[in-house]
Structure 1
Amino acid sequence: MRTVPLVGGPVELRGALDLEVTEAGVMPRRLPAWTKEQYQDPSVHGVTLMPSGVRLVFRTDARELEFEVLTSTGQLDTDPAPRPTGMLDLLVDGAPAGRRQAPLGNVLRMAAPGAAQRLIPGEPGTVRFTGLPAGMKSIELWLPQQTPTELVALRADGEVLAPLPDGRRRWVHHGSSLSHCIEADGPTGTWPVVAAGLGGAEVINLSQAGNAVLDPYIARTIRDMPADLISLKVGINIVSLAAFRLRTFGPAVHGFLDTIRDGHPDTPLLLVSPVSCPAFDETPGPATTGPDGKVIALGDPADVAGGALSLAVVRAELARIVAARQAHDPHLHHLDGRELLGPDETDDLPDGLHPTAAAYHRMGERFAAHAFTPDGPFR
């Protein structure tokens, strides 16, 4: 086995916009380094380190690969075990070729969600993929979408070369936890990855679980990066955090779109409204969790008349904004999120908010059937 450099060599790290050097190796981040000074909430940093959509890409004639990583997963003091570390998925020439459990490394203990964390240090672990096909082949090694993962070492028993251009269009997507897809069965089971595979695109997933609230630094990041296709899934965090009123929501959406258009004036851009979520469809946030583990909306439906936002209001406002802007922006498109997961499928929301792994697959298939068809916005 020979050690392959993870940085400065033939391996491309796709889906990450920054690399933090750590004592163990390097940690991918899904936002540029300059964004760190623009937020204070530690949850933003945490979800940015969760490598949803991040993968190592290269070519090799190796029959065996070893990948050494150091994961960091959380554990509540009341839980008997740390949260699952997730999976590492291997694709060979675009086809699934193996899935391995990510090894348990660091554990971050906390008394309650969002409380101060106590680090219990762990050690790097190694996963192996053996019996790979003979000959030169394209490799994609996908990191667990829900677990910060430091890259320590990559080893192969053959030659490793840089990937060749494949002509796929680059699709940049931003959304909430329902696009981050922590609950998916693995990193290639998130709905943006499923849709990208069906649509022949290469997705960059900038989704921020719990933090999709039209932050300007996200818009500037998208503005400044290469993109052939762009999609934004907007609304659930804005309602669940009670982040805006109707008066401020519309201008914030316009400003977010204006910033992206400064860098991508003609790029197809699909604005997706929220999927069905009974707790918030007619009731404003903020949100809490009930004793049964399901999400509850704490707002008063009567306050909608005064400007509070429910998902129904957000859907109507997004449709209105797109219709108004299409007069001068023919490359802007709208999709009602209920076409991805509708009101008759809410049994697929175990906590009342987040879809099951199977539902994420369906969402990816439906998005691809809408966006990547000959008449679709990503045609």
Structure 2
Amino acid sequence: MTTPLTTPITTPITTGILRGALELEHTAHGVLPHRLPARARAQCADGQLAMAESQPSGVRLAFRTRATAVELDTLPTKRVYVGAPPRPDGVYELLVDGRPAGRATATGGNTLTIDMTTGSTEHRSGTPGTLRFTGLPDGVKDIEIWLPHNETTELVALRTDAPVEPVPDRGRKVWLHHGSSISHGSDAASPTTTWPALAARLGRVELINLGLGGSALLDPFTARTMRDTPADLISVKIGINLVNTDLMRLRAFGPAVHGFLDTIREGHPTTPILVVSPILCPIHEDTPGPSAPDFSDLSAGRLRFRAAGDPAERATGKLTLNIIRDELARLVKQRGTDDPNLRYLDGRELYGEADAAELPLPDRLHPDAATHLRIGERFAALAFTTDDA
């Protein structure tokens, strides 16, 4: 076991050394990073949204120090699915001057037990654990600790063996992105290898990731959050959650997209906005939602999904991914006559038919770790032009 610091310096965890979060909630143990502000959270009582926005995808501690040892006390909330094998613990990644220098997981923590057959949940309180990173290089360096993209974690205390200060502003542009669980990082290998994190590193931009698992639903409070968040580049990935929740029909979809973009434009009148349609998802290309879980292999750790809609329902306005792509392309073209800073990207350029043949979606909805890397590389090449990044 690594020996604890003998003369630790404790640094308060504030917004000055935390990036990617829009708000810090003070709790009984420490602080909880949120990716949606309280005013937005108050407008929706959905448990899925609450869980997703509190999982710190893209959130990282960032500071400059001479320290050769760092300790972080955290209180994670680990998810347990009834009938399924245990999930791996969330990963905390340490970077030194932008290069990977260590990984750790937190012991202890709270437990959230989820029964997917009934939708019930049970929360059990636990105790904080300590992460230790030692043997770091001497001298002044920039350190980042990326928090787990898929595990809620309260930050209790940060200790080092040398003083800490915020990282100076390097003048990088801020990229604000909103999307579904794929943007959130579902099935990525680590917090720095979700496709948005990888794209941000390749594009040399600062990421604010509003990828919200199951919750990219054109919610007005999300649009207002984006409106009020400073950003130099904005992207919105729209579609898959609207289909797999069967949330709306074509009649509502177009006006909702217009309203979402209008709201963002209120705060960012000339900021480049990229509208991204869904990546290829064979079960929903021409079959409406909702998506339904297939529990047949759950005991073996395999959860898959199927499309529970009927292709004939397209005639009544039910959405499919192909319908959404056509409508988004039309809307962006229409708006583009008055908005030269609005662009459209077909998601199949990030992951299309050839990719699906080589790297099929393991659960029929979400890409695996290798596919996250491919999507991130392609997005960086397609979205971050010389003028943008």
Task: Give the TM-score taking structure 2 as reference length.
Answer: 0.93
CA deviation string 1:220-242 (max 9, x = no partner): 00101100000000000001111
Counterpart of 1:279 in structure 2 is: 283
Query: Post-superposition shift, 1:92?
Result: 1.0
Equivalent of residue 249 in structure 1, options 244, 250, 253: 253
Task: Work out whether 1:89 is the aligned partner of 2:93.
Answer: yes
| Corresponding letter in the other structure for 2:247 | A
Query: Post-superposition shift, 1:374?
Result: 3.2
Query: Post-superposition shift, 1:212?
Result: 0.5
Contact 1:283–1:300, Cα closer than 8 Å, also in 2: yes
SS at match of 1:38: coil
Task: Work out whether 1:46 is the aligned partner of 2:54.
Answer: no
Equivalent of residue 145 in structure 1, options 143, 149, 166: 149
Contact 1:50–1:148, Cα closer than 8 Å, also in 2: yes
CA deviation string 1:241-297 (max 9, x = no partner): 111111110000000000000110100000000000011001000110223532111
Counterpart of 1:32 in structure 2 is: 37
Contact 1:3–1:153, Cα closer than 8 Å, also in 2: no
Query: Post-superposition shift, 1:343?
Result: 1.6
The aligned runs of 1:147-186 (5 Å cut-off) are 147-186=151-190
The aligned runs of 1:106-125 (5 Å cut-off) are 106-112=110-116, 115-125=119-129
CA distance in 1, matches of 2:157, 2:13: 10
Equivalent of residue 369 in structure 1, options 378, 381, 385: 381
Task: Work out whether 1:356 is the aligned partner of 2:365.
Answer: no
Task: Work out whether 1:264 is the aligned partner of 2:268.
Answer: yes
CA distance in 2, matches of 1:310, 1:275: 12
CA distance in 2, matches of 1:193, 1:8: 22
CA distance in 1, matches of 2:363, 2:158: 38
CA distance in 1, matches of 2:126, 2:84: 18
Number of equivalences: 375
Counterpart of 1:308 in structure 2 is: 318
Query: Post-superposition shift, 1:93?
Result: 1.0
CA distance in 1, matches of 2:195, 2:49: 21
CA deviation string 1:289-325 (max 9, x = no partner): 2235321111111121221110000000000001111
CA distance in 2, matches of 1:6, 1:99: 22
CA distance in 2, matches of 1:349, 1:127: 33
Equivalent of residue 352 in structure 2, options 342, 360, 376: 342
| Corresponding letter in the other structure for 1:300 | D
CA deviation string 1:24-60 (max 9, x = no partner): 2111111111112210211111111100001111100
Unaligned runs of 5+ in 2: 1-6, 298-302
Task: Work out whether 1:331 is the aligned partner of 2:341.
Answer: yes
CA distance in 2, matches of 1:202, 1:61: 23
CA distance in 2, matches of 1:132, 1:111: 42
Query: Post-superposition shift, 1:4?
Result: 2.6
CA distance in 1, matches of 2:119, 2:134: 41
CA distance in 2, matches of 1:310, 1:112: 24
Task: Work out whether 1:98 is the aligned partner of 2:102.
Answer: yes
Counterpart of 2:226 in structure 1 is: 222
CA distance in 2, matches of 1:141, 1:196: 16
CA distance in 2, matches of 1:231, 1:254: 15
Counterpart of 2:3 in structure 1 is: none
Counterpart of 2:242 in structure 1 is: 238
CA distance in 1, matches of 2:9, 2:36: 28
SS at match of 2:255: helix
SS at match of 2:371: helix
| Corresponding letter in the other structure for 1:30 | R
SS at match of 2:144: strand
Contact 1:102–1:144, Cα closer than 8 Å, also in 2: no
User: Structure 1 residues 281, 263: closer, same or farther in 2, change over 3 A?
Assistant: same
CA distance in 1, matches of 2:119, 2:316: 34
CA distance in 1, matches of 2:324, 2:206: 29
Contact 1:73–1:84, Cα closer than 8 Å, also in 2: no
CA distance in 1, matches of 2:348, 2:278: 7
CA distance in 2, matches of 1:335, 1:165: 30
Which shows bigger deviation, 225-234 or 339-348? Answer: 339-348
CA distance in 2, matches of 1:312, 1:66: 49
Unaligned runs of 5+ in 1: none
Equivalent of residue 68 in structure 2, options 63, 72, 95: 63
Counterpart of 2:8 in structure 1 is: 2
CA distance in 2, matches of 1:311, 1:3: 52
Which shows bigger deviation, 32-41 or 342-351? Answer: 342-351
Counterpart of 2:300 in structure 1 is: none
CA distance in 2, matches of 1:280, 1:341: 14
SS at match of 1:295: strand
Contact 2:94–2:101, Cα closer than 8 Å, also in 1: yes
CA distance in 2, matches of 1:287, 1:136: 50
User: Structure 1 residues 374, 20: closer, same or farther in 2, change over 3 A?
Assistant: closer
Contact 1:61–1:159, Cα closer than 8 Å, also in 2: yes
SS at match of 1:84: coil
